Chains A and B, each alone.
Chain A
Amino acid sequence: MMLQYFNIIKGNYLQYVRSYSFLLTIAFSLFIAFNFVPSPNANYTTVSFGGYTGNYTAEWIGFVTAILASTFLSLCGFFLVNGSIKKDIETRIGHIIGTTKVSNLTYIFSKVTSNFLVLLTILFIIFITGIALFFLYGNTYAFNISSFVTPYILIAIPTLFLIANLAVVLEVIFPTKRMLQYGVFLFLFFATLFSAANDKTPIISSDLFGIQYVTSSVANEVQETFNKKDIGLSIGFVSGSRNPEKTFQMSSLSFPSWYVYSRLLWILIAVLASTIASFFFHRFNHKESPRKTILVSEETKHKSADFKLGNLHHDIEMSYSLAPLIQAELLMIIRKNPSYLWILTICGFTSMFFIPLNIAHLYILPILWFLQVTVWSDLVTKDQTFRTHFFTNSSYHPLKRLAISRIIAGLSIAICIALPVLIRYAINLNFSSVLNVILGATFIVLVAVFLGAFTKSKKTFEIAFFFLVYCNINQVKALDYFGGLHHSYSYGFLMTAIVSVLFFLSYLLLYRNKTYGN
């Protein structure tokens, strides 16, 4: 039984680490880990208390990297590990698994463990990078290993275990509704984060991230050191907020027993949730729900196909118009998203006509675009998913016609969603902003095409897009791809250059992948 369990985990994990996306994950992990601890010359903060940041001690670096891993990595990590059951459905391995002796409980926990191992791998990279950064930035201080490691064990690891469970539980509850899984997760994530920030009860709390107590402790320390009251906590990439003069020497964190029990309780809750989910696991039988059964006449059911060619004497006319291709792509896009998502989009779309223009542009537009994430991530990867690549690759001029029509369809959706903002800017004669929004729409669609063609996976774009939206809402200027913070023509020219390069690279990659390349 245990051997069976470990073999499944090993298989899942090896399948992931041998994939191309794992290399990208490592690169991404190194990138975020490096940025978690701003260099002495950097003009941004990731964690600060009333503008105060800690000296580069093992205590501070361990604390910062652990709480950012607990929040930020769990946010991105969910998108990374979510979909492991879906993969078994897509590869049809699920049908084999469904007929084996593997119990639902074993299967669910093997998925949880594999997810957890993937997240731990990233955490390990962050951990190692954190140590490297200590010796790079803080080599004048003594390296206290226990102060560095303890926050990882008590803050980050339990959170990542929860996320590994949550990813599987949501897949079981909404097996074919990926956007719903994302939506529920984001709601839970931000609701919990908000609740944790306002939860002042020091007993077992709603703080599944485990950050409320530790941040309060550090905030108290800052208050005592500088004799100030109501020191506010800031978590996230905040540019221009760093003041090298406002630093403090953080002491080692102490974790009371109730805190440790609280973390253990969250682990138990996660295990319980997965156990309950295993009772409701579809065991790859979800497609046979009655509402999806095809309704055909009895005559059709019992009649075989005639295959009489005598009836097929029609003249064939050639037509190289892109219109029917674009029309079919739009049809697939519209049907792909569930109706509730379109209702949300229509509500957001309508609201953008009435709310202040800068709010519509800065906040509503990127969120409405993000609702289309699964549509755009599918643009060039759907043929692998649906195994239609034989048809597309042998179609007439696949690159000039099919790929272009897909880009146009994706772009049409992006521009349609942005119409209220575009119309209002046009009425205000602010044509540079009109240009920037259109370039932003083109940029995000081309990023989807580029990452899809490069990684042959939709997940990379989904994570990157989420990261972009997060940064956009936090108003990170460097990642303002849709001109929310930049309204000049010069920014439009810069974006035109970026979009052109992206188009050229995407074209090359699609050429490599689609036409006579493999």
Chain B
Amino acid sequence: MQLTIKNLTKKYNSKKIGLSDYSIDISSGILGVLGPNGAGKSTLMKMISTITKPTQGDIFLNENDVVKHPNYMRQALGYLPQDFGVYPNLNAYEFLAYMAAMKGVGGKNLHHRIETLLEEVNLTDAAKNQLKTYSGGMIQRIGIAQALLNDPKVLIFDEPTVGLDPEERLRFRDLISDLATNRIIILSSHIVSDIESIADEVAIMKKGNLIIKDKQDSITKLAEGKVYETTISRANIINFKSNFNVVSSYRMNNEFKVRYISNAVNQIGEMVTPTLEDAYIYLTKN
């Protein structure tokens, strides 16, 4: 599987640009997409999933032009949007059957596949209840189930762990790892740890541009020698945060243990080994 994005641009109007001259090659495996709010992650996801048309540029899936022939992508696509809803008057089974019909999936195995999916997302008991009675977490699980209905070759997950409990988040990561063989999985998240543990490659975006796309190790190396940890008194913490690029701070009695990034050498505190989160902060805030 090969997804090629060439010079993709999305302009909403003359002032607002969602994505600017974006190019990237994505092969089978898991690509984690990181970026602050407004970086263009969801815009990119919507264009790959054929919901929005790019202003300029091309998207090719296995050398097929997806912009001209969106149904080629749609047949292979499983998409979990960031903020989606459901038809409240359908129950879980009916909703999945409807989604399957939309995707052009049918046949004698469909019934069994839906039942298995419902079991795996722990909704079998509630399958006969109309979706208007479901909680946010249950809706998120229905969203995950619908994305897998058509055995997709391209899976796009936009903030997939919202609404899942901590145990489910861990299992969901395992699910994504299991799915990655012979599939392209694009995983967008604000939560670096969701991506850090499973992504083969990471793409970091900022203001509609791709800053970097590489293996996690290579990205992490960019922040080497720039990450420090020190302890700051409670009285000075606000002043410190305004002067330094703080990644995290933990309160300990009347002091704060602070992890921060600085380009300057001989900074206060101890230099530490950078993580993906450090590199992400370093690349997006500098």
Nearest CB on A from B57, distance (A): 14
Partner of A328, one of B70, B97, B148: B97
* A336/B89 in contact, CB under 8 A: yes
Chain B interface size range: 35 or more
Nearest CB on A from B230, distance (A): 39
Return the chain B residue nearest A299 by Cβ. B125
* A319/B116 in contact, CB under 8 A: no
Is residue A391 within 8 Å, beta carbon to beta carbon, of the partner chain? yes
Chain A residues within an 8 Å CB radius of B117: 312
Contact A331 to B104, CB < 8 A, known contacts A294-B133, A397-B71: no
Is residue B79 within 8 Å, beta carbon to beta carbon, of the partner chain? yes
* B71/A332 in contact, CB under 8 A: no
Contact A518 to B50, CB < 8 A, known contacts A303-B122, A317-B105, A325-B102: no
* A314/B122 in contact, CB under 8 A: no
Chain B residues within an 8 Å CB radius of A516: 50, 52-53, 67, 70
Is residue B63 within 8 Å, beta carbon to beta carbon, of the partner chain? no
Nearest CB on B from A423, distance (A): 30
Chain B residues within an 8 Å CB radius of A316: 105, 107, 109, 113, 150-151
Distance, CA A492 to CA B1, complexed state (A): 54
* A300/B102 in contact, CB under 8 A: no
Contact A318 to B116, CB < 8 A, known contacts A387-B83, A388-B86, A396-B74: no
Distance, CA A309 to CA B155, complexed state (A): 14
Of listed B49, B86, B122, B165, residue having the most chain A CB within 10 A: B122
Distance, CA A310 to CA B133, complexed state (A): 29
Return the chain B residue nearest A398 by Cβ. B102
Chain A residues within an 8 Å CB radius of B179: 309
Distance, CA A169 to CA B172, complexed state (A): 46
Among residues 21 to 61 in chain A, which have CB atoms less than 8 Å away from a CB atom of chain B? none
Chain B residues within an 8 Å CB radius of A300: 122, 124-126
Chain B residues within an 8 Å CB radius of A336: 89
Map CB proximity to A onto B60-83 as digits: 1 under 8 Å, 0 otherwise. Answer: 000000010011001101010101
In the complex, the number of residue pairs spanning A and B with C-beta atoms less than 8 Å apart equals: 174
Distance, CA A306 to CA B145, complexed state (A): 12
Chain B residues within an 8 Å CB radius of A201: none
Nearest CB on B from A252, distance (A): 54
* A392/B102 in contact, CB under 8 A: yes
Is residue A99 within 8 Å, beta carbon to beta carbon, of the partner chain? no
Chain B residues within an 8 Å CB radius of A314: 109, 112-113, 116
Return the chain A residue nearest B45 by Cβ. A390
Contact A395 to B168, CB < 8 A, known contacts A311-B120, A332-B90, A518-B53: no
Return the chain A residue nearest B111 by Cβ. A314
* B113/A295 in contact, CB under 8 A: no
Chain A residues within an 8 Å CB radius of B269: none
* B75/A396 in contact, CB under 8 A: yes
Distance, CA A425 to CA B86, complexed state (A): 42
Chain A residues within an 8 Å CB radius of B113: 312, 314, 316
* A307/B101 in contact, CB under 8 A: no
* B101/A325 in contact, CB under 8 A: yes
Chain A residues within an 8 Å CB radius of B151: 312, 316
* B106/A332 in contact, CB under 8 A: no
Is residue B141 within 8 Å, beta carbon to beta carbon, of the partner chain? yes
Partner of A396, one of B103, B112, B146: B103
* B109/A318 in contact, CB under 8 A: no
Nearest CB on B from A348, distance (A): 23
* B87/A396 in contact, CB under 8 A: no
* B108/A317 in contact, CB under 8 A: yes
Distance, CA A402 to CA B102, complexed state (A): 7
Nearest CB on A from B84, distance (A): 5
Q: Footprint of B on A, CB under 8 Å? A: 292-297, 299-300, 303-312, 314-321, 324-325, 328, 331-332, 335-336, 382, 386-398, 401-402, 515-518
Given A295-B129, A321-B101, A516-B50, 4 more A-B residue pairs with CB atoms under 8 Å apart are A294-B135, A305-B171, A307-B120, A312-B151
A-B contact pairs, 30 of them (CB 8 A): A293-B133, A296-B126, A299-B125, A304-B122, A305-B123, A306-B171, A307-B171, A307-B172, A308-B120, A309-B120, A317-B110, A319-B104, A319-B105, A332-B87, A382-B87, A386-B85, A387-B84, A388-B84, A388-B85, A389-B51, A391-B84, A391-B99, A394-B50, A395-B102, A395-B103, A396-B71, A396-B104, A398-B102, A515-B70, A518-B52
